[in-house]
């Protein structure tokens, strides 16, 4: 029987759950939408960073990966591609050098994940893409908390996002977005896993 995306996903989520089970500052989210739904990363770990995990089983193709990578590179602090053995060589050529690559192999009884290349920090984040992770009411809360909301409460999310980008450093913006994601209770794809 071949490994499917869902089989690999269960192993990744299980591993991440064990790794972060006692870390109250970490949330694991499935199917996190990026850039207003242009792409969804399979799994996101949100703590001091946003680390995305994209899964490609041997039954998948890598055809969409370059387009997904463009979006992930704008938003995620680090990315790991979890890939079936069939796609390993191509994946190492296609994804940026700072992406981690993990090979998913079928053993006799289960799926084994083996790190081929460690992930590193994203060298070129885009504040405009990062801020789009928060909703309009959350953007108002960010501005209100910093006393920057006057005259903006009735504005569109785009104007609110623009004001946040203009007034906060990249590090402050990233911290606000991570904090908002971790505290959000109403996920479109269900509750965060942790």
Which H or E run includes 129?
helix 127-131
Would you state the pLDDT for residue 83? 95
Give the span between the Cα atoms of 40 and 47, in whole angstroms.
Answer: 18
Question: Is 15:55 a contact under the CB 8 Å cutoff?
Answer: no
- pTM above the 0.75 mark? yes
Determine the CATH number of domain 5-117.
3.40.1350
Would you state the pLDDT for residue 113? 93
- What is the per-residue pLDDT across 98-108, written as a single tens digit (0 to 9) for each? 999 999 998 88
Place 76 in a pLDDT band, splitting at 50, 70 and 90. Answer: very high
Phi, psi dihedral angles at 149 (to 5 degrees): -90, -20
- What is the per-residue pLDDT across 170-190, written as a single tens digit (0 to 9) for each? 999 999 999 999 998 654 444
Give me the percent of the chain exceeding a pLDDT of 70: 94
Phi, psi dihedral angles at 71 (to 5 degrees): -75, -45
Q: Using the 8-state DSSP alphabet, how is residue 171 labeled?
A: H
Residue closest to 111 by CA, chosen among 149, 71, 140, 84: 84
Domain boundaries, the chain: 5-117, 127-183
């Amino acid at each position: 029987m071949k490994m499917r995306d869902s089989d690999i996903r269960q192993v990744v989520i299980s591993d991440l759950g064990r790794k972060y089970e006692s870390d109250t500052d970490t949330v694991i989210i499935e199917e996190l939408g990026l850039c207003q739904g242009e792409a969804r990363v399979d799994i996101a770990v949100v703590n001091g960073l946003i680390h995305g995990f994209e899964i490609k089983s041997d039954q998948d193709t890598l055809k969409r990966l370059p387009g997904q990578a463009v979006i992930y590179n704008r938003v995620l602090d680090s990315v790991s591609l979890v890939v079936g053995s069939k796609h390993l060589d191509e994946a190492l050529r296609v994804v940026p050098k700072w992406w981690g690559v993990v090979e998913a192999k079928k053993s006799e009884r289960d799926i084994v994940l083996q790190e081929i290349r460690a992930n590193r920090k994203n060298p070129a984040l885009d504040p405009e893409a990062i801020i789009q992770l928060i909703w309009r009411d959350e953007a108002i809360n960010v501005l209100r908390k910093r006393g920057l909301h006057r005259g903006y409460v009735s504005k569109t999310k785009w104007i609110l996002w623009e004001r946040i980008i203009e007034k906060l450093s990249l590090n402050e913006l990233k911290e606000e977005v991570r904090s908002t994601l971790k505290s959000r209770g109403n996920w479109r794809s269900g509750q965060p896993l942790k």
